[in-house]
Structure formats: C-alpha cells, structure tokens
Amino acid sequence: MPGPLLQIAHLRIAFDTRRGNLVAVDDVSFDVHRGEVFGIVGESGAGKSLTGQAVIGLLEPPGRITAGRIRLEGRRIDNLPYARMRRLRGKQIGMIFQDPLTSLNPLYTIGRQLTETILTHRNMSHAQAREHAVRILSDVGIPAAEKRMEHYPHQFSGGMRQRVVIALALCVNPKLVIADEPTTALDVSIQAQIIALLKQLCEKHATAVVLITHDMGVIAEICDRVAVMYAGRIVELGTVRQVVKHARHPYASGLMGAIPSLRHRQERLNQIEGSMPRLAEIPAGCAFHPRCPEAFAKCRRRRPHLIEIQGAQVACWLYGEKA
Amino acid sequence: MTAFIIRRLLQSVFVMLVVALVAFLMFNYVGDPVNQMVGIDTSFAQREHLRQELGLNDPTLVQFARFVGHAVRGDFGLSYQHKRPVADLFKERLPATLELSLVAALFSLLVGIPMGVYTGLKPDGWLSRIFMAFSLVGVSLPTFLIGILLIFVFSVILGWLPSYGRGTVVAIGGWTTGLLTVSGLKALLMPAVTLGLFQLTLIMRLVRSEMLEVLRTDYIKFARARGLTDRAINFGHALKNTLVPVMTITGLQIGSIIAFAIITETVFQWPGMGLMFLQAIQNVDIPIMSAYLILVAFFFVVINLIVDILYYVVDPRLRVDTAKANGHA
Ligand SMILES: Nc1ncnc2c1ncn2[C@@H]1O[C@H](COP(=O)(O)OP(=O)(O)O)[C@@H](O)[C@H]1O
Ligand SMILES: [Mg+2]
C-alpha cells in the first residue's frame, strides 16, 4: 500500500492554564514513510516530546490537541475512542522514553514485563510468549537471555536496561516507534551502540522511527529526513543531507555549529546565544528573531511560513521576498 | 535473607531490653514494692526480711537480670489490686484486645485501601471528594468522641447494638472469642469501627497519595505506551508499587491500634488489657503497668519484624541491597 505511514497535518497542541490558552505546538505537519527514520530536533522546550505524545495518544491533561489531524496508514487516530487507541499503542505504535533507569517497573522481572506486553496484543499461549520474549531479548543483544528473563531491572546496567526498553517497545513489531531522546540519559560510550541497535532492528523489521533528540549528531548518524523545531513550530524540514550539510535556517545551522560528534565529543563550540522563549513570551514575527544573527526588519513584524526550496522546506525570510 | 533476619532479631532483642529496663526502673523505683504488699502494722524487721527475700537488696544489675529472666517466662509478679499473678490477668484479657485490634485493623485495611485506590485513580470524581471529606472527619474527630457518638446513635436512639462489654463469648482452649456468637459480633462492631476509623482514613490518604505519585512515574507511562490494559496498569503495576510505603505505615498503625485500644476499651467498657491498664494506673498497680508496657512493646517489635520480612517478599531491590550491605559488613 503506497502513501505515508504517518501523516501529521497542521497539528496544534495547547494547554488551558489560568493565564490563558498556551499554544505549545503550532501548525506542525510532516509525513513519515514506512521504514523511514524521521528525526525531530530542537532545543529543550521546542515541543518535540508533545508532538510524539500526541501521536501515541498520551498527551497529559491539561495538554490537548486543539487543531490538526494525525493519520496512521490513512486512518485518523487523533480522535479514536480510548479503548481503540489503547489497542493501537504497543501494537502499531511503540514508544521509547529517555530514561531507561525509570522506564521499567522495579518490582517485576523483565521476563514478566515482556510476556505481559506480548500477551496483551498477541493471541498466544504463555509458553509461546515466553519463547518470543527470549528471542527478542537476544535480538537486542542481551547475553544469556533465557536466564536474564528472571532478573529484575535493577540487576541490569543503564545501557542494558535501554536494550530491554527497546525490546519492550518492539516486542509486538509495531509499524512505528517513537524514540524520545533514547540516548540522552546514557553514558556517551554507550549512546552510539544503542543508536546503532535501534537502526539495525528497525531496518530488519521495516519499522519506521520518529527519533526525537536535541542532538544533531544523533540525527546525522541515523536519520533519513529531519524536522527542526523551534518554539512549537517546524522551521526547517528536509533530508539529512539538506538539513545537516546545507542548513538554510539560521537556527538549524546554529544547531549544527553546536553539534557534538557522537564519536569524538568536543566542547560545544558555537552555542546559539540566548535561550528559547517561554510559551507565554513568544515574540511577534519570527520567534527566532531575537537570537538570529541575520534578522532584519521584516523578521520582527511577520511570521515566516514554510516554503519549498529545492525539495526542502524552510520558514525564514532570508528565502522569500525580503520586503 | 537469614543474615538480614538475624540482624533484625538482634535489634528487636535490644529494643525489648531497653523497654524492660524502663519497666524495671518503674517497678523498683516508683513507690516501694514492699509497702504495696504489706499492711501498716507490719514491723520494720518484717519489712526488712521481706525485702531480703524478694531480693530487693541485691545489686541493681542482678535484680534487672532476674526481672528479665522472669519476664521471659511470663512472670510479672502479683498484681497489687487483684492479688493474683499478673500473667493470669493478662491471659484472661489478651483475647479481647487482640480480637478487637485485629478486626479494627482488617476493617481499616479492607476499606481504606480500596478507597485510597479509587480516590487515587479518580482524584476529581464526586465520590472521591466525598471520601476525602469523610477522611478529614475521621482524622480530626478524637476517638472517644466517635465512640460516644456511635453509642448515642446505635445504642441509645436505635437500640441496635450493645453499648458496652463483649457480649457472649465462647472459650476455645485458653482463648475466649466473641467472633462465634451473634451477640459477640454485635458487641464487637462499634468498638472495632471506632478503633479502626482513624487508621482507615490514614491508610486511605496514604494509598491515594502514593497512587497519584506512582501513576506519574515513567514506568507507568511506558506501560501505557505499550498498550497494557488499565486494569493491568492500575492494579498490577501501580498498586503493587504503593505497597512498600503502605506496609510500613500499616505496620506502625497496627501497633498503635493495640496501644490506642486503651481509649476505645474504656469508652465501651471492653474487658481487654487496655481497660485493665487504665485501672492499674489509677491504683498505681506497678506490676500490671510494667507488664503492659513490655507486652505492647513486644507486639510493636513483632509487627515490625513481619513488615521487614514482607518488604523482602515485595521488593526485589532490597534482596540485592542487603546482600551487598552484608558483603561489606
Ligand atoms: N503541563 C504543561 N503545562 C504547561 N506547559 C507545558 C506542559 N507540559 C509541557 N509544557 C510546555 O510545552 C513546551 C514543549 O514541551 P516539550 O514537548 O516537552 O519540549 P521538548 O522539545 O523539550 O520535548 C515547553 O515549553 C513546556 O514548557
Ligand atoms: Mg522532551
């Protein structure tokens, strides 16, 4: 079946707070194709996690989708009833969280957590589920998987736990996995391994990945296409080649300047000065203009929209009529 | 596991020794035991003879050792008021207090935990609001007032339940139980509710806040993201994680239920140890007082020991941590 696996169109996520309605994600649109690794990158607070949570239907109140559509294989999933969305989670869309140390229930063996997840979605006997679980554990590179089934999370190292988390997210073979900063909490030496594992597994099962990170290095490592987010909006979207090598938006190239390489991490050289505005204080015009080295008059007055340039999309007045 | 239990047992023995020391000091130095036993017309020589016979002239340490030796065998001497062995008096009253405390504890757990889970899962529901308001009443009203209110409504106005005593009890071996007769059960109802109400509200609030806390954790979010059913998440994953703190508090609470029984037993003239203890205080019946002190401390220690062992069963992390700690020690 052709057509993108995941389609997000004009997504808006807002919080009803006492100080009014705060829009945290606005007009976000992108497609993810089958088997593709799609990156979302941006500084902390850009709205990346909220976008991921919206896809899997786990936005926490008071946050909610106030506009837009999310489609999986052409069917809308943003307005599904709770029970149907629940059955989609894990089975069609998996999720990997940032911190492997806190993602696993400390009181149950990982074997139990795996078989429970498998049995929730698959119609098989307990013995079959166990067998399946052992196979998945060895797939994610856990030695002596059979024996490790009986172990509790605290008996695993951080890197090993993230492997278990990946096993849990992929155990019923979802079509899409959302990985929200999957390596941020890990030791630098382990990050590359986990990223490689994720890439290898998803390639093998043709699983698409939405990889959320603030680290351009990770993006460059495994993504096919990438969206750069700033203050709740996508400011640049394109293939990794286009965005990483030839970033057009000053924010995207700023992030590139701040790139710490996965292999030889150095001091961040060109950190972008200043910080992202709080939700209630997003400036008029282009949200990035107060920090932008190339801002000019129009940037302060009017908000740029995404325009297409050679297959990539950029929201910046440097690439439109300047007046 | 065994090393852990042995260490805990040693700690318990130490605690009991400290309590015994307090009881011993009370026994020997609050009032003069000889004066309590003899009449006014007893001569000084006779008193001195008795003193010698009771070993009250021995070094304090020897006396304490003897006191502990007797206590271990359940010998706390004669009650001044009743002129009978304190051990016998306690044996008669222990079943009443233990039955009352046990039923009160069960009541508080079996009602408090479900209420706590419900209010934790639906913090904004109207039923939750009612539960919370109710718990505020339970926490703030003093026990004796609740008892008196209950007596007023169910005994005085409605005439449904007896206002005092244990009703008809049945003796099984050396144990008397009110759980097997209708009149015994009716008599137990109000005292048990009175005694358990405070604990119930405490447990409910504790379970609620633990539940709210656990539901915010990453592993619950991850369980949701894997599509587990609400049932599996709430009761399989969340509730079990609230158990450790709930067990701690519950253990302490059951100990204090036995201690709090003094008030409830007085209000309902319940023929248990607490009532006897209160009467003993009024009559400066030191042997009963010190025996009560030791017995209640003993219950506390035993319950704590059980809770510690339950931790082990529930939380796999402790099994490893203590093994490590033992390795270092
Ligand atoms: N419950 C909430 N109430 C108000 N604002 C929130 C809430 N949760 C998140 N936000 C805001 O939404 C914005 C985006 O958050 P998030 O998606 O987590 O960013 P990130 O890109 O770092 O993952 C942030 O500015 C954050 O402050
Ligand atoms: Mg985030």
- What is the tens place of the pLDDT at every residue in A167-200? 999 999 999 999 999 988 888 888 888 999 999 9
Beta-bridge partner residues of B135: none
- Residues lining ion ligand 2 (Cβ < 5 A) are A 49
CA distances from B35 to B23, B46, B60, B76 (A): 19, 11, 19, 18
Ligand 1 atom nearest residue A229's Cα: 21
Which residues in B lie closer than 8 A to residue A87 (C-beta atoms)?
227
pLDDT-based confidence at residue A321 (cuts at 50, 70, 90)? low
Subunit contact A165:B222, Cβ cutoff 8 A: yes
Rg of chain A in Å (alpha carbons): 20
3-state secondary structure chain A: CCCCCEEEEEEEEEEEECCEEEEEEEEEEEEECCCCEEEEECCCCCCHHHHHHHHHCCCCCCEEEEEEEEEECCEECCCCCHHHHHHHECCCEEEECCCCCCCCCCCCCHHHHHHHHHHHHCCCCHHHHHHHHHHHHHHCCCCCHHHHCCCCHHHCCHHHHHHHHHHHHHCCCCCEEEEECCCCCCCHHHHHHHHHHHHHHHHHHCCEEEEEECCHHHHHHHCCEEEEEECCEEEEEEEHHHHHHCCCCHHHHHHHHCCCCCCCCCCCCCCCCCCCCCHHHCCCCCCCHHHCCCCCHHHHHCCCCCEEECCEEECCHHHCCCC
pLDDT at B251: 80
Looking at residue A18, what is its pLDDT? 83
A322 burial level (CB within 10 Å; 0-12, 13-18, 19+): exposed
In this complex, the residue of B229, B240, B241 whose CB is nearest that of residue A120 is B229
A44 CB less than 6 Å from ligand 1?
A: yes
The per-residue pLDDT for B143 is 82
CB–CB contact B225 A95 (8 Å) = yes
Nearest to A227 by CA among A57, A62, A18, A25: A25
pLDDT computed for residue A268 by the predictor? 45
Integer Cα distance of B56 and B63 in angstroms: 7
Cα–Cα dist A295/A316, whole Å: 10
Which of B122, B219, B230, B321 is most worth mutating to test chain A (most A CB atoms within 10 A of its CB)? B219
User: Is there an atom of ligand 1 within 6 Å of A183 CB?
Assistant: no
CB B222 within 8 A of CB A97: yes
What residue ranges in B213-259 does DSSP mark as E strands? none
Q: How far apart are CA A48 and CA A37, in angstroms?
A: 15
| Residue B105, min C-alpha distance to chain A (Å) | 26
Q: Is the pLDDT of residue B327 over 70?
A: no
Shortest distance, CA B324 to any CA of chain A (angstroms) = 13
Collapsing DSSP states into helix, strand and coil, what is residue B275? helix
Residue B88: strand, helix, or coil: helix
A62 upstream amide cis, omega within 30 of 0: yes
What is d(CA A246, CA A253) in angstroms, rounded to the nearest whole number?
A: 8
Verify whether the Cβ–Cβ distance A103 to B320 is below 8 Å. Answer: no
State in Å: Cα A57 to ligand 2 middle.
16
CB contact under 8 A, A106 and B236: no
What residue type is assigned to position B150 of the chain? L
Q: Is the CB of A277 under 6 A from ligand 1?
A: no
pLDDT band at A270 (very low <50, low <70, confident <90, very high): low
**Residue A79, Cβ density class (10 Å: 0-12 exposed, 13-18 middle, ≥19 buried):** exposed
Give B86-324's CATH code, choosing from 1.10.3720.10, 3.90.650.10, 3.40.47.10, 3.30.70.640: 1.10.3720.10
Domains annotated on chain A, with CATH: 6-92+174-262+269-322 (3.40.50.300)
| Residue-range domain boundaries for chain B | 86-324
Q: What percent of chain A has pLDDT over 90?
A: 63
The amino acid occupying position A7 is: Q
Q: Determine, for residues B227 and A91 on separate chains, whether the beta-carbon distance falls below 8 Å.
A: yes
| Cβ-nearest to B225 among A58, A102, A154 | A58
- Tell which residue, A66, A63, A72, A84, has the closest CA to residue A26: A66
CB contact, 8 Å: A164 with chain B? no
Average pLDDT for B273-292: 88
For residues B44 and B39, what is the distance between their CA atoms, to the nearest angstrom?
A: 11
Tens-place pLDDT, residues A117-137: 999 999 999 999 999 999 999
pLDDT at B146: 86
Contact B267, B147 (CB under 8 A): yes
Task: Say which residues have a Cβ less than 8 Å from residue B39's Cβ, sequence separation at least 6.
Answer: none
* A218 vs A199: CA distance, rounded Å: 11
User: Who contacts A152 (Cβ-Cβ below 8 Å, separation ≥6)?
Assistant: A106, A107, A108, A109, A110, B316, B317
What are the residues whose beta carbons fall under 8 Å from the beta carbon of B321, sequence distance 6 or more? none
Q: Are B261 and B272 in contact (CB under 8 A)?
A: yes
Question: What 3-state DSSP class applies to B78?
Answer: strand
Mean pLDDT across A76-93:
92
CA distance, residue B234 to nearest chain A CA (Å): 12
Q: Taken in order A214, A216, A222, A223, is the CA torsion positive or negative? A: positive
For residue A55, give how far its alpha carbon lies from the nearest alpha carbon of chain B (Å).
11
Q: What is the ipTM of this complex?
A: 0.90
Of B222, B227, B241, the CB nearest to A107: B241
Q: Tokens standing for B231?
A: 């049932």
Q: Does A246 touch chain B (CB under 8 A)?
A: no
Is it the case that residue B188 has pLDDT exceeding 60? Answer: yes
Residues 6+ apart with CB under 8 A from B242: B207, B210, B211, B214
Give the model's pLDDT for residue A258. Answer: 57
Nearest alpha-carbon partner for A208 in A220, A221, A225: A225
- Which residues have CB under 8 Å from B4's CB, separation 6+? B308, B312, B322, B326
Question: What confidence score (pLDDT) does residue A269 get?
Answer: 46
Q: Nearest Cβ partner of B218 from A102, A108, A120?
A: A102
Closest by alpha carbon to B203, among B282, B101, B135?
B135
A191 reaches B (C-beta below 8 A): no
**CA-CA-CA-CA torsion sign (A145, A150, A153, A157):** negative
Task: For residues B99-107, give the mean pLDDT.
Answer: 91
Q: Does residue A89 register a pLDDT over 90? A: yes
Cβ neighbours for A314, distance < 8 A, ≥ 6 positions apart: A235, A236, A248, A249, A306, A307
d(C-alpha B85, C-alpha B126), whole Å: 56
**Tens of pLDDT along B161-171?**
888 888 777 88
**Average pLDDT value over all residues in chain A:** 89
